[in-house]
Amino acid sequence: MTHLSPYSYLERGILCILIFCWAIKHVWQMDRFEAVKLKNLRAFKLRGVVTVVLFGSLSAVILYDCLATYFKYDEGWRVKEEGGDIVPQSKKNYHPDNVELLAPTDAFWSITCTLKSSGMFLMNSMWHNLSRKIINAKFMSSIEFKAYGVYSVLSLILYPFFQLLFLNSNPLMSAVMPQFVYHAECFSLIIITQISNKRFRRILENLPPTSPNRGSLRFFIHMNNWLTLMLALDFIGLFAINADVCTTERVVYNSMFLTDFFSRIFNLGFCFEYPVLFLILYPMSSMWEGADKDAQKKQERMTRQAASKLAKSRAGGSAGELASSRKSTLAAGQESKSKLLAAPAEKPQPEIDGLKSQIEALQRQLKLAADAGSSSDEVKLDVVVHASANREVGVPA
């Protein structure tokens, strides 16, 4: 039991009790405890074994937090000689009756961590069976599958081994070293979980769009991301506290704010790993459908954006063609105007009569266009040409 404030144990204990009750209700609703029946456990069905291990871990941490809360509030507080800060009572000053129970209490914490880690490594082995059952695809090699199972058993031995190794020589390291094993396992599980997600995404890319298994794969990817976040909070919070105890400065240890801050981060990650694990073991079909609907909405949104970009590009192309057409029309009008202006002042009468008839025809067209409400650049250009030509040949406007 560490120097954390009494509220840290009380908070985690209440959260774990609520999660334990929710987990029983959830497993009953989803499976009617079929996976944890004796015949399935004897056959070493992974889902049932992991369920039992997780419930055992939750039970152990609830017992640990209840006892630790009692000790902390029963022993009270003390005033530090350096600075006069008020901190929880040191274990060396505990009442003899409470001291006798400290060793069994610390054992409950080791049981909690070792069972939880073993359960999570076994769950990674479960992905292999699950992928074969759902999508009939190979998820991992047989060596990797067996390695997870072997280490889940080895993890049960490592905690008591390191605890007993330093029990007589260094009581502090006897309490801290098993937790460093837990930190290493959390960090390894973060990496393994993201590797699993990468494999799931590769399988998802190879599935046909109409496959009914796409929703379940998206759900597992989503839950693995949440598990990674909780493991990261678990690792950061407790590692900062334990690593600080092994230093000479003990910055976190000497600051109640930092101690409470990192303990809250740890409690958040540690407690909410359990709901994520139970939701992975016993998913609800509505979650699969929800994950599939979210993916469909995202795909539809991307399709609409692509269609909008294509329409804008086509509209830009049409506007460019219209502008070039107008430019060519204006150029032709300017050329006609320059020809008319360049005509000699005195023209033979037949030529003048021909020009007058052409101008009259253009004036009629202009009038018709004006009646139709036309305002195009071509019509404006005809007005300029007609006026200029009229001045050259003497036709009244």
Q: Given pLDDT bands bounded at 50, 70 and 90, which one contains residue 395? A: very low
* The predicted structure's pLDDT at residue 115: 94
* The predicted structure's pLDDT at residue 139: 84
Report which of residues 366 and 380 the model is more confident about. 366
* The predicted structure's pLDDT at residue 376: 47
Domain boundaries, the chain: 6-283, 302-393
* Predicted confidence (pLDDT) at residue 109 exceeds the cutoff of 70: yes
Q: Cα–Cα distances in Å, from 162 out to 186, 352, 359? A: 17, 117, 109
pLDDT winner (highest mean) among 160-164, 302-306, 322-326: 160-164
Taking residue 200's Cβ as centre, other Cβ atoms within 10 Å add up to: 21
* The predicted structure's pLDDT at residue 346: 47
pLDDT winner (highest mean) among 13-27, 38-52, 359-373: 13-27
Q: Average pLDDT over the chain, rounded to whole? A: 79
What mean pLDDT do residues 55-79 have? 88
* The predicted structure's pLDDT at residue 380: 46
Q: What is the pLDDT of residues 196-238, one digit of tens each?
A: 999 989 888 888 888 888 888 899 999 999 999 999 999 999 9
What mean pLDDT do residues 359-367 have? 71
Q: Given pLDDT bands bounded at 50, 70 and 90, which one contains residue 318? A: low
* Predicted confidence (pLDDT) at residue 25 exceeds the cutoff of 90: yes
Q: Given pLDDT bands bounded at 50, 70 and 90, which one contains residue 56? A: very high
* The predicted structure's pLDDT at residue 378: 47
DSSP string, 31-91: HTT-TTSHHHHHTT-HHHHHHHHHHHHHHHHHHHHHHHHHHHHHH-EEE-TTTT-EEEPPG
* Predicted confidence (pLDDT) at residue 329 exceeds the cutoff of 50: yes
* Predicted confidence (pLDDT) at residue 337 exceeds the cutoff of 60: no
The closest of 348, 331, 338 to 389, measured between CA atoms, is: 338
* Predicted confidence (pLDDT) at residue 121 exceeds the cutoff of 80: yes
* The predicted structure's pLDDT at residue 321: 58
Angle CA 264–266–271, to nearest 5: 100
What mean pLDDT do residues 9-20 have? 95
* Predicted confidence (pLDDT) at residue 345 exceeds the cutoff of 50: no
Structure tokens at 322: 């219209």
What mean pLDDT do residues 10-26 have? 96
Does the CA dihedral 57-62-65-70 come out positive or negative? negative
Instruction: Please tell me the distance from the alpha carbon of residue 216 to that of residue 231, in angstroms, as a whole number.
Output: 22
Q: Do 368 and 358 meet the contact criterion of CB atoms below 8 Å apart?
A: no
Q: What is the pLDDT of residues 257-293, one digit of tens each?
A: 898 999 999 999 999 999 999 999 999 876 555 445 5
Instruction: Please tell me the distance from the alpha carbon of residue 257 to that of residue 260, in angstroms, as a whole number.
Output: 5
- Which H or E run contains 268? helix 256-281
Structure tokens at 373: 């409400």
Residue given tokens 């992928």 in the structure block: 131
The domain over range 6-283 is classified in CATH as 1.20.1070? yes
DSSP string, 127-147: HHHHHHHHT----S-HHHHHH
- Which residues on adjacent β-strands are paired with residue 87? 78
Report which of residues 126 and 184 the model is more confident about. 184
Q: Given pLDDT bands bounded at 50, 70 and 90, which one contains residue 354? A: low
At a CB cut-off of 8 Å and minimum separation 6, what does 187 contact?
235
At a CB cut-off of 8 Å and minimum separation 6, what does 372 contact?
none
- Which H or E run contains 2? none
Q: Do 394 and 345 meet the contact criterion of CB atoms below 8 Å apart?
A: no
Does the CA dihedral 309-315-316-317 come out positive or negative? positive
Length of the chain: 397
